[in-house]
Structure 1
Amino acid sequence: MRIGELSRRTGVPVPTIKYYVREGLLPAGRLTSPNQASYDDAHERRLRLIRALLEVGGLKVAAVAAVLAAIDDPGRSVHKVLGAATDRIVPRYGDSAQDEELEAAREEVSELIGRRGWRVDHDNPAAEALAGALAALEGVGHGEFTGLLDDYADAAEQVAGVDIAYVGRWAGRDDVVERAVIGTVLGDAVFASLRRLAHVDVSARAFGDEGGRPAD
């Protein structure tokens, strides 16, 4: 197919497709003449993945490029690619090594990792992100939230198990790797939305608000 048809199929404007090619996110089409290139289903699939990572996953172009490079590297295991994707979507915090609340939160997270027996490096970006969130909770007077960490960890382990089981349905490396990334990046958006829907329901049941409940 030509670039115009690729644009129509995916809803991505032609100039944007050309930009993705220049940035190395999308492979160039096969030249059929000096001014024409042909694209195939693989280009369409990759383009849809790029848009999903950008629009739903909220990644920046540079982060998408890094994730796609990991996907395309046959020397990387699925575990390593998944780590590369995760590292790109967790928030980063500035150098706050002297912040007592943050230091205490880091220790809390380290103890959680040890207590759960998780095979995770203690300097993992997700661990730092969790510490930052706990420090912020402490800063606004909700430090007791740390008492819920194991309950949240129980739920997180269950969700992670579902994620990995989904990935394991496919045998080919390319399919496994791509679905691992999709499950990591887009799965966050799915789970966050489900959690908010559940909040509405549980709140209505707990506090007697009929507004969010179906009529009898």
Structure 2
Amino acid sequence: MKSARNIAISLLFVTVLSLGVLGLTVSDETLTPRWVSDQLLVSAPKLHFISGKSLERLRNGATVPFDFQLSISAGRGNPALQRALERFVVSYDVWEEKFRVIELRGRKSRAHLTAAAAEAWCLENIGLGTASINPSLSLWLRLEVRSAESKAPLQLSDDSGMSLATLIELFSRQPRASQEHWAIETGPFKLTDLKR
């Protein structure tokens, strides 16, 4: 008969393995907020989404869209006070061994990037307005990134960059089993605690 210790170790192993299969990253990733000109921006230097299956697809000549959702709430697990959603399309130049990123809403792009620089550029181009948020409120910040199929349609709207229907479709359901996805949270913090 197995000892309680062996059963606990087995359960821990199965849990960690399950998280890996689901595409969740188990690591010491950090999400760092900063307040710049009434915008809340983030950095996550240990988040590497240009990796795994997505990197393999890029090296095989495919373009890979990544959907980002940055949301802020007044407590962990609470409804979002505000959210920003953006799609970035990444491609890879096999001759130069560099990446190109296009931000679809603003039609901005950057080329000749390393994987880390491409990831950082995506984060630099998504932010949340802070004008309607009480600066002394305790906040939680969540970043979600999902890879998407290159042929997945995207409905753009003139005012916010993405239609409400697309937002609901992308982030109100669980990612598909074959879809790579990452999520990082940080909190609690107050806007007044951040350097401007």
One fold, TM greater than 0.5? no
Q: Which has the higher contact order (CA 8 A, sep 6+)?
A: 2
Q: What is the TM-score normalised by the length of structure 2? A: 0.26
Q: What is the TM-score normalised by the length of structure 1? A: 0.25
Query: Which structure features the higher share of strand residues?
Result: 2
Query: Which structure features the higher share of helix residues?
Result: 1
